[in-house]
Structure 1
Amino acid sequence: MKNNRRVFLKKLSLTGLAASLNPLAYAGEKAEPHLLGRSNIEVLSNAKTLKLALIGAGIMGREDTKTALMHQGIDLMAVCDLYDGRLARAKAEWGDHLILTKDYKEILNNKEIDVVIIATPDHWHKEISVAALAAGKHVYCEKPMVHSVKEGQEVIDAWKKSGKIYMVGSQGISSLGNEKAKELLAAGVIGDINYAEGFWARHSPEGAWQYEVPLDGTPETVDWKTYIANTKDRPFDPLRFFRWRNYLDYGTGMSGDLFVHLFSSLHFITDSKGPNKVSSMGGLRYWEDGREVPDVLLGMFDYPRTEEHAAFNLSLRCNFVDGTSGTTYLKIVGSNGSMDVKWDEVVVKTNRQGPSDDPFLEEQARLRGNEGRKKILPPNETVYAAERGYKGAHFDHFANFFHAIRENGRVVQDPEFAFRAAAPALLCNDSYFQDKFIKWDPIKMKVV
């Protein structure tokens, strides 16, 4: 197996590796955090202003747009949503100049618009993405890229045909934390990976998708017919519109909303294409509000040995009934240590805590009678943290996106990468509802 981590380890002893991490770390001493920084990409003064439109002005659509507008040379031109209240809010927040519409095709037909953000419920991601690419728009689409595995290849084909930039919004992979973890793993700091786990916990009503249902959310203010046009015909139901993540016709459950973030980060850090076996179990433990998806979900995954990494297993958990308010993390475990990875922090823990195992140094110390001397050891814990003023992963993700558009470059989460992250998350739902293991080919991106 070609593995640059093993080459690195051949060049450095464990003690030398420790010194390269923190040469001043002695046994019993706690190292100061290493600060992680970012040199922001400056927009050239003669760079074209990008005309932006938002399709889907809910929670993430607004957050995406606010973050996009933090960048230079971005002009919001239009907003599309199926609810009058969101259109009115967009006008109040971003100006009277906005084109407001309930028909996304009006936006795609506007030749002045360069870029669209797609932040609709999941069941519209594929259809609008394909149409936007065909219309010559660059696309930033919220995760998961598609509503079902069968839709993935269609988006990939449309992207390749279009020649446009397409970015999916699992912003954590653009974070300083993810980038440092990738660097440390490649350098062999924790050895070869053998296990990883991720956890996402929420307890508040909004965190568990009990979103506010506005009093004026009625058939008169909501275009329900368009909303359900590509799903089963039903009478108007405000819960299915405003709390759409709870229902399989529109959302993708906990795995599509949250597991996909963890898959994206893990695949970025390890250069993995994905697992070849998927299983999940869970249940509806608390939020008995008519939802069709679990509020506690566990996933188990097999990752085969590849040229990029050793074989390992992944365990993912998501809990919407976490009474302690929980936490979010990704832990990567190797033969020599582990990393706890967050978007703005990485904590490396090594398993060398005893005295040096160099027999020559030990014998020299015995002869000199100073066996109790302090010894330079690998630090038990090394912390890397984002410097003060860091603008965050969301900002960096859009920086990558806009820079790729202006420079005809590449993004970190294109449709192929995004589908390889989305597919095992979506297959968790299939495993749960069908009560079976599912085999997946991560190279061909097909169910086996």
Structure 2
Amino acid sequence: MKNNRRSFIKNLGIVGATAAVIPSSFAAEAKEVNLLNRAAKTSTNKILKIALIGAGGMGVADTNTALKHENIELVAVCDLYDGRLEDAKKRWGSSLFLTKDYKEVLNRSDIDAVIIGTPDFWHKKMSVDALNAGKHVYCEKPMVHSVEEGNDIIKAWKKSGKIYMVGSQGMSSLGNEKARELLAAGAIGTLNYAEGFWARNSALGAWQYPIPKDASTQTVDWEKYTSISKDMPFDPLRFFRWRNYLDYGTGMAGDLFVHLFSSLHFITNSYGPNKIAATGGLRHWDDGREVPDVLLGMFDYPDTKQHPAFNLSLRCNFVDGTSGSTFLKLVGSKGSMDIAWDSLTLKRNAGGGSDDPFLAEKAKENSGRPDRKKLVPPLETVYRAEDGYKGAHYDHFANFFMAIRENGSVAQDPAFGFRAAAPALLCNESYKKNEFINWDPEKMKLV
């Protein structure tokens, strides 16, 4: 009976598209679709004490979101720039423990979890050190700075028994959850192609973050910052605008492609592509940066038990004249889905027929009356989040804190995070070498 119900949902198609619900008799099947543990049943009585390592823009945003949850207390903040430590005190209170040495944070027994919001090149070392110190970890994406680092974090995570969440927060969105449900229900037929686009622009220039007037070796611990990279004279651009330089960041692919990979892999249950190619260039922001401002990626996804073979194209444009836009599209044999974090548009192919069992039954009843008009399912259905939706970022932390409190699991653990980061980082390799890169997404290694 279970297999029959599963088959019915698999072929449900337009029922999921028009009704926007799965009938209650199939509730058990629906549970298999939602991996985000969004339920509110968890106890929030236990106060979780957290620390922030890296108090730049994303670290601050993460911490502000984390503190919106009940019984979360910020205990410590670590950063290498004096100005950010002062800002932390003004923003979150003078009782904070402030330091420029992240190991002082890890040595504190009163801290349950750390948020790592540092430049990418510090992610692996800090993650492993935090796990070894018995801390739960929320690490900003990409999880690693190079594919060689991925298995080190996975090993440390498995050994630690702690919760590790990668911060591609859009993965926890309502839009992704609905897309996952509809794809499993057969709403767009057999997946054969996907594409994603991320664009940005600004008057100052993409990633050209402000440089504080007091930036110097007196206010920035430059020696500690570069202690695991190349030794070079103090350069405020490489500290405050680190995303532009490959010693510290991972370019457009590591910053933005990884979001699209995370969402796509969650929706499709995929481990990732096995062939990767990228092209692009510096088309506008020729300001000393080492990474392209336009990047195009092409990816082959193999036929697996999770999904059929399909192709993916990703684009990122920092020379965008539309002031920025983002989307992820999945295309199948019967239609397509345009997916955003708080909405989804399902489009059905005209003349493709309907999988709705009600309409099929009515067609049988009216078979003797060809002149009678029939109900026609919509070719386009739009889903939107209800007013008051707190957003994917909030839900991502909800998943993290629930897993800590209930000794559970998170949707974006290190294995998932590495499988999203690796093809993004390999785009940089393909671009640099001007060649295809072969990757084993299941074993997580270069071929």
Q: Which residue of 1 aligns with 2:30?
A: none
Q: Contact conserved, 1:41 with 1:399, CA < 8 A, in 2?
A: no
Report what 1:428 is aligned to.
Answer: 427
Task: Please name the residue that 1:364 is paired with.
Answer: 368
Question: Would you say 1:73 and 2:77 are equivalent positions?
Answer: no
Give the CA deviation at 1:208.
1.4
Q: CA deviation at 1:217?
A: 1.0
Match of 2:224 among 217, 223, 226: 226
Q: Distance in 2 between matches of 1:427 and 1:5?
A: 40
Distance in structure 2 (CA, Å) of the matches to 1:426 and 1:442: 13
Alignment match, 1:418: 417
CA contact (8 A) 1:53 1:113 kept: yes
> Residue 30 of structure 1 corresponds to which residue in structure 2?
none
Q: Which amino acid aligns with 1:402?
A: F
Deviations 1:353-408 (A, max 9, x none): 58889886786343xx44xx3x2122111111100000000000000000000000
Structure 2: distance between partners of 1:143 and 1:319:
19
Alignment match, 2:29: none
DSSP 3-state at the match of 2:288: coil
Normalising by structure 1, we get a TM-score of 0.90
Picking from 279, 282, 285, the partner of 2:280 is 282
- Taking the aligned partners of 1:4 and 1:139, their CA distance within structure 2 comes to 41
**5+ unaligned residues in a row in structure 1: which ranges?**
24-37
Indicate how the Cα distance of structure 1 residues 325 and 353 shifts in structure 2: closer, same or farther if over 3 A, else same: farther
- Taking structure 1 as reference, are residues 443 and 63 closer, same or farther at Cα in structure 2, changes over 3 Å only? same
In structure 2, the residue matched to 1:82 is 80
Asked whether the 8 Å contact 1:276–1:439 carries over to 2, the reply is: yes
Answering whether residue 444 of structure 2 is matched by residue 441 of structure 1, we say no
Q: Is the Cα contact below 8 Å between 2:38 and 2:395 reproduced in 1?
A: no
Q: Is 1:349–1:382's contact at 8 Å kept on the other side of the alignment?
A: yes
CA contact (8 A) 1:6 1:188 kept: no
Contact between 2:115 and 2:139, CA under 8 Å: does it hold in 1?
Answer: yes
RMSD: 2.3
Cα gap change, 1:352 to 1:16, in 2 (>3 Å): farther
Secondary structure in structure 2 of the residue aligned to 1:197: strand
Counting only pairs closer than 5 Å after superposition, residues 284-303 of structure 1 correspond to structure 2 as 284-303=282-301
Do the aligned residues in 2 keep the contact of 1:123 with 1:249 (CA within 8 Å)?
Answer: yes
Q: What does 1:178-217 correspond to in 2, within 5 Å?
A: 178-205=176-203, 208-217=206-215
Cα shift at 1:48: 2.1
CA distance in 1, matches of 2:427, 2:384: 32
137 and 376 in structure 1: CA distance in 2 versus 1, 3 angstrom threshold: same
Cα displacement string for residues 203-229 of structure 1 (whole angstroms, at most 9, x for unaligned residues): 115671011111111111000001111
Q: Could you tell me which amino acid in structure 1 is paired with residue 270 of structure 2?
A: S
1:7 aligned residue: 7
Residues 279-325 of structure 1, C-alpha deviations (whole Å, 9 max, x = no match): 00000001111000000000000000111111100000000010111
Aligned residue number for residue 391 of structure 1: 390
Tell me the residue number matched to 2:380: 381
Query: How many angstroms apart in 2 are the aligned matches of 1:11 and 1:94?
Result: 51
Cα distance between partner residues in 2 of 1:263 and 1:311: 16
Deviation, 1:151, is 0.2
Measure the CA separation in 2 of the matches of 1:223 and 1:4.
63
Could you list the structure 1 runs, at least 4 aligned residues long, displaced by more than 4 angstroms after superposition: 3-6, 9-12, 14-23, 353-363
Within 1, Cα distance between the matches of 2:339 and 2:313? 15
How far off its partner does 1:255 sit?
0.2
Q: Show the 5 A alignment for 1:1-400.
A: 7-8=7-8, 20-21=19-20, 41=40, 44=43, 47-205=45-203, 208-353=206-351, 364-366=368-370, 369-370=371-372, 373=373, 375-400=374-399
Change (3 A) 1:338 1:76: same
> Shift in Å at residue 330 of structure 1?
0.3
Q: Percent identity?
A: 68
Following the alignment from structure 2 to structure 1, what is the Cα–Cα distance between the partners of residues 4 and 272? 20
TM-score, normalised with respect to structure 2: 0.90
1:281/1:299 contact within 8 Å kept? yes
Aligned 8 A contact 1:330 1:342 in 2: yes
- Given that 2:301 and 2:311 are in contact with CA atoms closer than 8 Å, whether structure 1 keeps it comes out as yes
SS at match of 1:217: coil
